[in-house]
């Protein structure tokens, strides 16, 4: 179901139709801003699903007068995304005297461990 066209009134009382924002967005950089925004939004949705946390998508449009012209405007747009962050990956490490990190404590002697038979290996009987 289509919605009725939105109208606007200028300073002289003239009634006009409001151009759809999506049309203006498609005209910026031959659709580059709209295309990049679509990809960013899709990536954000995937990140929200993956982390089960909220994220934000922002489209900033800046309109400024063009220097030396009373009729022209410069329109710039930039999309940004703030995806949810995952939990940091952490592990326990030990440091040595030179500041290097190790998974095993360099100040503790290692036990002479060896691999034993696997549970699915054929067992032998001692006689």
CB within 8 Å of 26: residues ≥ 6 apart: 34
Enumerate the β-bridge partners of residue 82: 56
**What pLDDT score does 105 carry?**
92
Contacts of 27 (CB under 8 A, 6+ apart): none
**Residues 81-114: pLDDT tens digits?**
999 988 888 999 999 999 999 999 999 988 888 8
Average pLDDT over residues 115-124: 74
Which of the pair, 52 or 124, is modelled with greater confidence?
52
Whats the size of the chain, residue-wise? 127
Are the beta carbons of 37 and 22 closer than 8 angstroms?
A: no
Summarised one tens digit per residue, pLDDT across range 8-65 is 887 788 888 888 999 999 999 999 999 999 999 999 999 999 999 999 999 999 999 9
DSSP the chain: -PPPPPEEE-TTS-EEEPPPHHHHHHHGGGGHHHHHHHHHHHHHHHHHHHHTS--EEEEEEEEEEPTT-SS-EEEEEEEEEEPPPPPPP----EE-TTS-EESS-TTSPPP---PPPPTTSPP----
Contact 96, 106 (CB under 8 A): yes
pLDDT at 35: 96
In this prediction, residue 3 carries a pLDDT of 65
Identify the band that residue 72 occupies on the pLDDT scale cut at 50, 70 and 90: very high
Higher pLDDT, 31 or 1: 31
- 9 versus 76: the higher-pLDDT residue is 76
């Amino acid at each position: 179901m289509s919605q009725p066209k939105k109208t606007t009134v200028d300073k002289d009382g003239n009634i006009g139709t409001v151009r759809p924002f999506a049309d203006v967005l498609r005209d910026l950089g031959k659709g580059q801003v709209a295309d990049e925004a679509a990809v960013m939004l899709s990536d954000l949705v995937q990140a929200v699903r993956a982390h089960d946390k909220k994220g934000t998508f922002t489209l900033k449009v800046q309109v400024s007068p063009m220097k030396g012209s009373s009729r022209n405007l410069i329109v710039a747009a930039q999309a940004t995304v703030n995806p949810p962050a995952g939990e940091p990956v952490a592990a326990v490490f030990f440091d040595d005297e030179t500041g290097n990190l190790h998974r095993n404590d360099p100040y503790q002697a290692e036990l002479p461990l060896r691999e034993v038979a696997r549970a699915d290996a054929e067992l032998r009987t001692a006689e």
